[in-house]
Amino acid sequence: MSLNRMIEKAYNLIKGRRIEQISDGVYNVVGEHGTYIVVRKIDGSVTCNCPGFATKKKCSHSLAVMMLNQPALLASIKREAGRSERHREKIRETKR
Ligand SMILES: [Zn+2]
């Protein structure tokens, strides 16, 4: 999975309100293939118990929790997502 695709998936998790904080630094993330637990450590690093994280040390769930805790990063991704949505609309308009 490309990084951009992973960012997009993470953003959709946030937008779809599929992340629930269950205790301090512990999040319940409802992904496409199951519900996972993401733990955010005091140093800011995150771990997830999904199979993807086990092999690649990164996944959209942990990325989403990271984004939630970095408002500046989230804001820039929101802007980026808005841009590509507008771009898609433009394409639809020209096809009409
Ligand atoms: Zn995960």
Q: What is the mean pLDDT of residues 24-34?
A: 95
pTM, rounded to two decimals: 0.82
Per-residue pLDDT, 84? 76
Work out the burial of residue 54: count CB atoms within 10 Å of its CB; fewer than 13 is exposed, 13-18 middle, 19 or more buried.
exposed
**Cα(76) to centroid(ligand 1), Å:** 22
**Cα(84) to centroid(ligand 1), Å:** 25
Q: Is the pLDDT of residue 12 over 90?
A: yes
pLDDT per residue over 32-41, tens digit each?
889 999 999 9
**Cα(51) to centroid(ligand 1), Å:** 7
CA separation for the pair 51, 44 (Å, rounded): 21
pLDDT per residue over 54-94, tens digit each?
999 999 999 999 999 999 989 998 888 888 778 778 877 77
Q: Determine the residue type at 18.
A: R
Question: Which is it for strands 46-48 and 35-40: parallel, antiparallel or unpaired?
Answer: antiparallel
